[in-house]
Amino acid sequence: MQSSMGFSIRKYPLTTISGALVILFYCVFTLISWAFYPEPYGPSTHYLSRLGNFNYSPFGAYFYNWGCILTGIALIPFFMSLKDWWTENIIQRLIMFIGQVLGIASGFGLMAIGVFSEDQGEPHMLASSTFFMILFFVLILIIIALFLNPTLNKLVGLYGLVIVFSSLAFALTFGGPLTEWYTVFGSLLFVGLLSINSMKLNYYLY
């Protein structure tokens, strides 16, 4: 007889699985690309996309760009699975649905960043600016919808609001690569927190 204590990925909601993949893909591929970057590199001096620039890192760029593509793919089931957070409230469902649609669009935007690397110039800038613009509205809508679900851990929602508005404030004042790093990894942490909260929603953690 199979032990009920054994690990089974089927026990976990899609939000948790896809959220973990989002974080894993981006962080692992970014770190590998960073390891192959031939010159000094850091968040205070370089944008993340520089890791995907073939002119600066001919080998390491493959890892960063593929990381963006795979992360973008993982974002699609992540946002689709947020349907689990729907309530009976029609307004809440509508807000979440719009956030989900835009979230899926942001996934394609991130894939485009990987396809059109920094060395390609204007196509990359268009993909990057579109992704970050969509991401801002996605986070706002998703967080509003989550707050309308009483099972949300309010600290998760509060953290999301802090990341959204502090990132916007930094972008409008300081700007620069450090703001991009803050926004990206702050958003990844929000994905992780929501993934954990989704396990509780599905009664996998008590």
Whether residue 206 is contained in a domain is answered as no
Whether residue 2 is contained in a domain is answered as no
Q: Nearest-CA neighbor of 204 among 2, 13, 33, 7?
A: 13
Whether residue 91 is contained in a domain is answered as yes
Number of domains in the chain: 1
Check pLDDT > 50 for residue 196.
yes
For residue 153, give its domain range: 11-201
- Per-residue pLDDT reduced to its tens digit, 164-186: 999 999 999 988 999 999 999 99
Whether residue 83 is contained in a domain is answered as yes
Helix axes 176-201, 14-36, angle to 10 degrees: 150
- Per-residue pLDDT reduced to its tens digit, 8-60: 666 789 999 999 999 999 999 999 999 999 999 999 999 999 999 999 999 99
pTM over 0.85: yes
What is the pLDDT at residue 6?
57
**R_g of the chain computed on alpha carbons:** 18
